[in-house]
Amino acid sequence: MASICRGMFGENSKKETRGKVQNPSHDPRRTLVHDSTGVTPQASHGANVPSICEEGLRDGWSSLFSSAVMSAMKSLELVFLVLALWCSVLVASAGHLKPTRKQADEQFLTRQKDILGLLFGVGHKETFKSEHEDFDIAANAEHYSNVAAVAEFLSEFERGFLPDDEEFLLTNRKTLRQTIMLFDLFYYAKDFDTFYKTACWARKHVKDVQFAYVLYVAVYHRQDCRGMLLPAWYDVFPSSFISQEVMHKIYAAKMEGMIVFIRDN
């Protein structure tokens, strides 16, 4: 734009004055204007050159800015169009997705029944009877994928596990460490048969709450137990949620053959 201004005004001035001796006191951009008061110098049309250049520059920047805004708006329109198409594809594909369900076979139902049997009457070891309650873990160490974890558990169990008369608290570091060792024993069983036999052994030799807690966690993590349902914790240990007085009333009513309804206050 500056070159245009020079072409309009600067070059003509040079041509007109080329070859002539310039009078330093004479300014070609100024003329004498006579008025009633005398001679007054007044700028000629050359004095408007800066304002014309500024106008041209302003118009040029304005057009550049408008072009940039239009280009950005077109880019945003393209982005929104792509996003809209992508969302449409996702919605259309989601309509064809159906949750896959597998019909429970006889083997799965038998395993589910065996796991629930381990929780029946938990807390009363004398009522639990199983042919696997004295399963020899050391003699079957090859049936575990982590033999070192088996040896570590057996060593810790010989030194003494959580007694039945002590409270099960995971905030206790020793109890937490032993609970993790028992979980490893359940988790690293190579097959369901070994896992179930190990659980039967623990049902008899480990504190009831600790055993039930590890059994729940192992069932949720083992692939061969995927899809199994376990009862709510308050169904397994109702005494942890109901006072002893209410429990005595329930047992007394049950002994008399009465039907008891528990109201939650």
- Give 16-28 pLDDT, tens digit per residue: 444 444 444 444 4
Which of 153, 130, 144 has its CA nearest to residue 194? 144
Instruction: State the average pLDDT over residues 129-133.
Output: 91
Cα distances from 13 to residues 22, 46, 53, 121, 169, in angstroms, run 12, 10, 16, 113, 100
Beta bridge partners of 35: 38
> Which two tokens mark 250?
């329930």
Can you say whether residue 116 is alpha, beta or left, with left for phi > 0 and alpha for psi between -120 and 50 degrees?
alpha
- CATH 1.20.1370.10 residue ranges of the chain are 122-230
Q: What percent of the chain has pLDDT over 90?
A: 43
**Across 74-78, 123-127, 193-197, 222-226, least confident range:** 74-78
> Is residue 185 predicted with pLDDT exceeding 50?
yes
pLDDT score recorded for residue 210: 96
**Across 119-128, 199-208, 245-254, least confident range:** 245-254
Alpha helices in 132-191 (DSSP H): 147-159, 173-187
- Give the model's confidence band at 88: pLDDT under 50 very low, under 70 low, under 90 confident, else very high: low
- Considering just the CA atoms, what is the radius of gyration of the chain in Å? 46
CATH-assigned architecture of domain 122-230:
Up-down Bundle (1.20)
CA angle 213, 219, 225 (to 5 degrees): 165
pLDDT score recorded for residue 20: 46
Other beta carbons within 10 angstroms of residue 211's beta carbon come to 26
> Is residue 10 predicted with pLDDT exceeding 60?
no
**Across 18-32, 146-160, 203-217, least confident range:** 18-32
pLDDT score recorded for residue 235: 87
pLDDT score recorded for residue 175: 96
- Over the range 138-159, which residues count as b (16 or more CB within 10 Å of their CB) and which as e? eeeeebbebeebbeebeeebee
Highest mean pLDDT among 21-25, 59-63, 122-126, 245-249: 122-126
pLDDT score recorded for residue 142: 96
pLDDT score recorded for residue 62: 67
Instruction: State the average pLDDT over residues 183-198.
Output: 98
pLDDT score recorded for residue 4: 44
Tens digit of pLDDT for each residue in 218-229? Answer: 999 999 999 999
- Give the model's confidence band at 200: pLDDT under 50 very low, under 70 low, under 90 confident, else very high: very high
265 vs 139, more confident: 139
